[in-house]
Amino acid sequence: MADIKWLMCSDVHFPRHDPRKVSLWMDVLRYLKPQAVDLLGDIDDAEETSQWAKGSSKEGFSLSLTGIDLTKEFLREIHEIVPRADKHFHDGNHGWHRHKKWLDQNAPQTLLDKVYTPEVLYEGKKSGFEWHEYEDPPVHRFGDIYAHHGDSISKHSGESVRNDCLNWGVSVVRGHSHRLGRWEQTYPIDGRSIRGFEGGHLCDPSQMKYDRSPNWQSGFLFGMVSGDDVLITPIEIRNYSCMIGTKIFRS
Ligand SMILES: [Fe+2]
Ligand SMILES: [Fe+2]
């Protein structure tokens, strides 16, 4: 079987995204034309249905929320570039997960009647994406690697994914921490290893007010799948440039 290029990203937080970082990732997508793409959650920020918006003029739900629109457009654009890729959309604690909780409290009949579903919001299926709920367990993707938005949160890069790996007992690619990092534990006696990767973010931290001094790193994950071997590299974005192999991208 031919090798598979696997491109991932997470924590775009539309409309609090950084357009230059998103366009950098799109350039990499166009260049690589990967056979697999995973969006690892928090693509739509969903501020309007968050607990912070509660009681404010921002609170509410509508299909015309900018975050929903931009997420839909993002999926459509990816599909246009890689129509045949194996594409997965893992929901985060933001996005549909948050809208769903708000609707459950404020307009539960719209969920029962399926007026609003992830497909109605983002049209992921239409854009060739397989949908995964945030509450679902991590999804097996390639070799030893499972994908999820992530559950644990620790202050330091690599530690959040370490905790998920140890809790779940599998190797994980994830977002959620907004940190870029990797962690690995090897067991030479029987040759096992468990490893985890945190994919950074593509958002604009200046628009996210919930952390005074966020220890966040911009970036994304890139992998090559060769049979059962999966080689994954966290790609850092520095001053709107990043590197795939020896090729430098700038936006
Ligand atoms: Fe996030
Ligand atoms: Fe998150």
Tell how far the Cα of 80 is from the centroid of ligand 2, in angstroms.
Answer: 27
Which one, of 141, 135, 132, lies nearest residue 43 by Cα?
132
In the reported structure, the alpha carbon of residue 179 is separated from the centroid of ligand 1 by a whole-number distance in angstroms of 10
Task: Quote the ligand 2 centre to 92 CA distance (angstroms).
Answer: 5
Tokens linked to 85: 């890729």
Closest ligand to Cα 160: 2
Prior bond to 188 cis, omega within 30?
no
| pLDDT score of 208 | 87
- Ligand approaching nearest to the C-alpha of 98: 2
Kindly give the distance from the C-alpha atom of residue 35 to the centroid of ligand 2, in angstroms, as a whole number: 25
Q: pTM here?
A: 0.97
Cα of 65 vs centre of ligand 2, distance in Å, is 19
pLDDT for position 212: 80
The alpha carbon of 199 and the centre of ligand 1 are apart by a number of angstroms equal to 11
The full set of domain ranges for the chain reads 4-250
Q: Which two tokens stand for residue 137?
A: 């367990």
| Distance from residue 178's CA to the centre of ligand 2 (Å) | 8
- Compute, in angstroms, the gap from residue 176 CA to the centroid of ligand 2: 4
Using a pLDDT cut of 90, give the percent of the chain over it: 96
Distance 214 CA to ligand 2 centre (A): 14
Span from the CA of 246 to the centroid of ligand 1 (angstroms) = 29
CA separation (Å) from 2 to 35, 140, 143, 228? 10, 19, 14, 12
Q: What is the pLDDT of residues 109-138, one digit of tens each?
A: 999 999 999 999 999 999 999 999 999 999
Strands (DSSP E) found in the chain: 4-9, 36-39, 86-90, 129-132, 139-142, 145-147, 171-174, 180-187, 192-199, 219-226, 229-236, 241-244, 247-250
Helices (runs of H) and strands (runs of E) counted in the chain:
6, 13
Distance 204 CA to ligand 1 centre (A): 11
Task: Indicate which ligand has the atom closest to the C-alpha of 134.
Answer: 2
Ligand 1 centroid, distance to 10 Cα (angstroms): 7
Query: pLDDT tens for residues 193-241?
Result: 999 999 999 999 999 877 788 999 999 999 999 999 999 999 999 999 9
CATH class as words, domain 4-250: alpha beta
Q: Per-residue pLDDT averaged across 79-107, rounded? A: 98
114 C-alpha vs ligand 2 centroid, how far in Å?
Answer: 25
pLDDT above 70 covers a percentage of the chain that reads 100
